[in-house]
Amino acid sequence: MTNKTTSLSPWLYIPTLYFAEGIPYMIINAVSVIFYKKLEVDNAQITFWTSLISFPWILKMFWSPFVDIYSTKRKWLLTMQMIMFFCLSFLSLSFHLPNFFFISLGILTIAAFISATYDIATDGFYMLALHPEQQALFVGIRSLFYRFAILFSTGFLVFLAGYLEESTQNLPLSWSIVIGIAAVIFAFLFVFHLVILPKPESNNKNLESNPATNITNIPFLKIIVSYFRQPKIVIILAFILLYRFGEAMLLKIASLFLLDKPELGGLGLSTQEFGLVYGTFGVISLICGGILGGLLIANFGLKKCLLPMALALNLPDIFYVYMAYAKPPIKFVYPLVSLEQFGYGVGFTAFTVYLMYVSKGEHKTSHFAISTGLMALGLMIPGAISGQIQQALGYPLFFVLVCLATIPGMLTIFFIPLPSETENNRQVN
């Protein structure tokens, strides 16, 4: 019997698959910082634990072969969506429990493993369900809807939480409702995808019939060794780990600074104001910066763009030094945060293109997974220690330290191998 859904347009499911990919990632890594701050958890604990639970994205390359071998990508992603519904449902209820912090952290940790597995399955499904021409067409669409998920999570959901905080005067209830909405969205997406998704692997039953024989053939050690045998691998690793070191320290503290009370050195924004400043205008600026970054690299090449785009990423960090000392009114906070996020978008694009450049050869997909895992490690470590450093130094000196921490990563640019114009054209195309 022919599956009728195989003839359906990818427009019906690719946008929703990648929208679903972005929501849990942002709740786990960004929105959690906000609700823990509003529920009066201290900065050191927030930054340490919310950084540590990102570990699954570092490790996901190690279990990605199992997703490839056992069952189909369709079954994997549907299962992960259903489990994510339960994770978000339990998270919404955990805010009312006496030991909510560690209970919710446990739930977020499970959700992180589920989200990372969903990423693997969705990317695999994308490559199986779409023809190469369609893959090229929809790469921008999937990225766009992933960014819509960022806007929805850090903008709409956070703004709604702030509105509910003011109207109900009940912080746990407000955040329970907001996370509950995200859970309901996942329930809807599960049902929708269960009905609509094609079955591109339906003719590959051999993978399911004898997975043990297949997994022994995966040259996993060979792939890892080939990655670390690249020329100048030490300086490449230094670049991957250090390029975003200052930004990684800033990433979580920026939210806490904007939300913290003025007497504690913060700007004292309400949750609603934060949802607009950082989660809406900031994210829109981030998206625009990413688009501009891609256009610049496509026209001028990565070799010419990398250092200027690294400066675009790092120099706006000084805006936080100014805000920490001057405590400007909110009308100035909007453009300053937006400009910082715009620069972040520009600089991150260059970083992503470079990770593609060092992911070469027959195992370039696995090499890219290793690079992104190292990138996640480069975010986790400075993020985990940033709260303790901020509490020891205060916000003004902390942001000065952030600016200084950007220098080593920019220095590595002068030593890393960079693509020629021909190689660059192949990467961006």
What CATH code is carried by the domain that includes residue 26? Answer: 1.20.1250.20
Is pLDDT above 70 for 49? Answer: yes
Q: If we measure between CA atoms, which residue out of 325, 368, 76, 100 comes closest to residue 197?
A: 76
Using CA atoms, how far apart are residues 189 and 194, in angstroms rounded to an integer? 8
pLDDT in tens, 374-401: 888 999 999 999 999 999 999 999 999 9
The count of other CB atoms within 10 Å of the CB of residue 239 is 26
Type of residue found at 145 = F
pLDDT for residue 365: 65
Note whether 249 and 397 are same-domain residues.
Answer: yes
The count of other CB atoms within 10 Å of the CB of residue 292 is 16
pLDDT for residue 249: 94
Is pLDDT above 80 for 347? Answer: yes
pLDDT for residue 369: 76
Note whether 362 and 427 are same-domain residues.
Answer: yes
Structure tokens at 134: 């369609």
Contacts of 185 (CB under 8 A, 6+ apart): 20, 23
Question: Does 303 fall in a domain?
Answer: yes
Note whether 197 and 245 are same-domain residues.
Answer: no
Here the contacts of 185-192 (C-beta below 8 Å, separation 24 or greater) are 185/20, 185/23, 186/20, 186/23, 186/81, 186/82, 186/84, 186/85, 186/88, 187/85, 189/16, 189/19, 189/20, 189/81, 190/78, 190/81, 190/82, 190/85, 192/16
pLDDT in tens, 71-87: 788 999 999 999 999 99
Is pLDDT above 50 for 171? Answer: yes
| DSSP-assigned letters across all residues of 342-356 | HHHHHHHHHHHHHHH
Is pLDDT above 50 for 54? Answer: yes
Q: Is residue 135 exposed (0-12), middle (13-18) or buried (19+ Cβ within 10 Å)? A: middle
Is pLDDT above 60 for 200? Answer: yes
Residue 411 pLDDT level (bands cut at 50, 70, 90): very high
pLDDT for residue 67: 78
Note whether 197 and 313 are same-domain residues.
Answer: no
The count of other CB atoms within 10 Å of the CB of residue 195 is 8
Measured CA to CA in angstroms, residue 175 lies from 48, 115, 257, 260 at distances of 21, 20, 20, 18
Is pLDDT above 80 for 352? Answer: yes
pLDDT for residue 372: 83
pLDDT for residue 108: 96
Which of 124-138, 164-178, 314-328, 391-405 shows the lowest per-residue confidence on average (mean pLDDT)? 124-138
Q: Where is the domain boundary, 150, 185, 217?
A: 217
pLDDT in tens, 258-293: 999 999 999 999 999 999 999 899 999 998 998 898
Residue 254 pLDDT level (bands cut at 50, 70, 90): very high
pLDDT in tens, 91-115: 999 999 988 999 999 999 999 999 9
Q: Residue range 155-175: average pLDDT?
A: 94
pLDDT for residue 205: 44
Mean of pLDDT over the chain: 86
Using CA atoms, how far apart are residues 303 and 259, in angstroms rounded to an integer? 39
Note whether 228 and 193 are same-domain residues.
Answer: no
pLDDT for residue 266: 94
pLDDT for residue 332: 95
Q: Residue range 250-260: average pLDDT?
A: 93
- Please answer whether residues 162 and 273 qualify as being in contact, where contact means their C-beta atoms are separated by less than 8 angstroms: yes
Between CA 170 and CA 178, with CA 174 as vertex, the angle to 5 degrees is 175
Note whether 298 and 231 are same-domain residues.
Answer: yes
Which of 118-132, 159-173, 301-315, 413-427 shows the lowest per-residue confidence on average (mean pLDDT)? 413-427
| Helical segments of 200-244, H only | 206-209, 211-215, 220-228, 233-242
pLDDT for residue 229: 87
| Domains identified in the chain, total number | 2
pLDDT for residue 214: 46
Which of 144-158, 189-203, 360-374 shows the lowest per-residue confidence on average (mean pLDDT)? 360-374
Looking up tokens 């690719």, which residue turns up?
Answer: 14
Using CA atoms, how far apart are residues 245 and 401, in angstroms rounded to an integer? 11
Note whether 50 and 87 are same-domain residues.
Answer: yes
Residue 215 pLDDT level (bands cut at 50, 70, 90): very low
Is pLDDT above 90 for 192? Answer: yes
Q: If we measure between CA atoms, which residue out of 269, 235, 266 comes closest to residue 399?
A: 266
| Helical segments of 130-279, H only | 132-150, 158-168, 171-196, 206-209, 211-215, 220-228, 233-242, 245-259, 271-276
Q: Where is the domain boundary, 217, 250, 281?
A: 217
- How far apart, in Å, do the first and last CA atoms of the chain sit? 38
Note whether 223 and 196 are same-domain residues.
Answer: no
**Structural domain containing residue 176:** 10-201+212-217
Using CA atoms, how far apart are residues 375 and 248, in angstroms rounded to an integer? 10
Is pLDDT above 80 for 140? Answer: no
pLDDT for residue 362: 67
Question: Does 122 fall in a domain?
Answer: yes
Which of 5-19, 62-76, 90-104, 196-210 shows the lowest per-residue confidence on average (mean pLDDT)? 196-210
pLDDT for residue 419: 75
Is pLDDT above 50 for 4? Answer: no
Note whether 268 and 378 are same-domain residues.
Answer: yes
Question: Does 425 fall in a domain?
Answer: yes
Note whether 419 and 282 are same-domain residues.
Answer: yes
pTM of the model: 0.81
Question: Does 158 fall in a domain?
Answer: yes
Type of residue found at 427 = Q
Is pLDDT above 70 for 211? Answer: no
